[in-house]
Amino acid sequence: MNDITPQMQFGIFTVSDITEDPTTGITPSENERIRSTLAIAKHAEDVGLDVFALGEHHNPPFWSSSPTTTLAYIAAQTEHLILSTATTLITTNDPVKIAEDFAMLQHVSGGRVDLMLGRGNTGPVYPWFGKDIRQGLPLAIENYNLLHRLWREDVVDWEGQFRTPLQGFTSTPRPLDGVAPFVWHGSIRTPEIAEQAAYYGDGFFANNIFWPKEHYQRLIALYRQRYAHYGHGTPEQAIVGLGGQVFMSAKSQDAVREFRPYFDNAPVYGHGPSLEDFSEMTPLTVGSPQQVIDRYAGMREHYGDYQRQLFLMDHAGLPLKTVLEQLDILGGEVVPVLRKELAKDRPADVPDAPTHAGLVAAAYGGEAPRQAVPGANRGDNLVGESPYRDSESQLLSASKQGSAFGSAATRTGA
């Protein structure tokens, strides 16, 4: 278990694309790209990063259709790295299976796991899994309502619109130490998701790698305001994560020269704005390590103090050797300075980055965590009360009502 709770967490995320290297014309095989990603994750821990996050996709040219399987393997190869997703599809995955998979990942990783929920960016995934894209937001709201309860109640009776009812259902295994994995709600454009994160008191992750800062400032400001409205703390105490994107070299002109062909041919933004224009409009920073430090040390001027910064490092066909070299620079030269810069004048009441150890301490204080064991009275029940039963009050009772959040989201005009 990772007992170190930094004020901020720094890490990397991958979207798992398999892309031709435009400088060589070589496209890696699925196996080569998967093995490279495993090496990147392990190297992230070696260079002192805190988090590795893996996306979920079910279509080429992406390979990551089963993030928990991959993260479990990485958990066995690492000791301190927090394993997360970027994102887990709350709309097309069954909440019961999400509850089971991530609780299991908690146990095998010693608590080094959280997850980011989202709707994804591939429309056809909805019919592939028997869902209607027109119901994307209602699915996200209802499915998370159920997931939230499955992790906090030993026996769940539930009925909704989009799946068969549950009667006397116990999700197994129970969350490690009786504490659910921390949840980030990820969004690049949707106010309703910021509202949802605020309602539950969860984290909000703004993957601000595509649009100007003003767009994300509005989303984060809404989340902070509504977080306070629902009684979880002050706006400044809301839990915020940011995406980012960098490419570095000792000389900035070398970084630009080396990265330009990858940028120009990238599947997402290639053949669009110039590298210079895109860097001006978004947090993409291609240059020296000091330029990256200066750019990202200034993020809290735009968004306030925050808890997690993730960087996209391994996309657009960049070869493994180059990505590992980039991680060496990020972990060796950039992140140590950013830790110090972003800790300066940080108010004492701003929460540290979430970890399992921190969540356990908040739930139990100095008491021993709850360990679930089978109940003697029935095979599918568990003895003992969840520590959340009484302490969640407004949050849990409101979530049981089902429609309460939907009404709240409507009132925001989202």
Distance between CA atoms of residues 392 and 27, nearest Å = 50
| pTM for the predicted model, two decimal places | 0.88
Confidence at residue 134, expressed as pLDDT on a 0 to 100 scale: 77
What residues does 187 pair with on adjacent strands?
206
Whether residue 2 lies inside any domain: the answer is no
Confidence at residue 389, expressed as pLDDT on a 0 to 100 scale: 38
Residue 263, φ and ψ in degrees, nearest 5: -65, -45
Confidence at residue 412, expressed as pLDDT on a 0 to 100 scale: 34
Containing domain of residue 218, as a range? 9-411
Distance between CA atoms of residues 187 and 118, nearest Å = 7
Whether residue 227 lies inside any domain: the answer is yes
Distance between CA atoms of residues 338 and 285, nearest Å = 15
Closest by Cα among 282, 337, 243, 322 to 12: 243
The structural domain count of the chain equals 1
Whether residue 73 lies inside any domain: the answer is yes
Q: Which structure tokens are listed for 110?
A: 């010693």
Q: Which structure tokens are listed for 202?
A: 């969860």
Burial (CB count within 10 angstroms: exposed 0-12, middle 13-18, buried 19+), residue 31: exposed
Whether residue 179 lies inside any domain: the answer is yes
| 8 A C-beta contact, residue 330 and residue 248 | yes
Whether residue 1 lies inside any domain: the answer is no
Confidence at residue 121, expressed as pLDDT on a 0 to 100 scale: 65
Whether residue 4 lies inside any domain: the answer is no
List the chain residues with pLDDT less than 70. Answer: 1-5, 120-123, 126, 129, 375-414
Confidence at residue 120, expressed as pLDDT on a 0 to 100 scale: 67
Distance between CA atoms of residues 280 and 302, nearest Å = 15
The helix/strand/coil state of 8 is coil
Tokens 């299991």, residue?
A: 104
Half-sphere exposure of 142 (CA within 13 A, CB side): 17
Confidence at residue 251, expressed as pLDDT on a 0 to 100 scale: 96
Confidence at residue 40, expressed as pLDDT on a 0 to 100 scale: 98
Confidence at residue 9, expressed as pLDDT on a 0 to 100 scale: 98
CATH code (residue 293): 3.20.20.30
From residue 140, give the alpha-carbon distance in Å to each of 66, 132, 147, 212, 216: 19, 12, 10, 26, 20
Burial (CB count within 10 angstroms: exposed 0-12, middle 13-18, buried 19+), residue 4: exposed
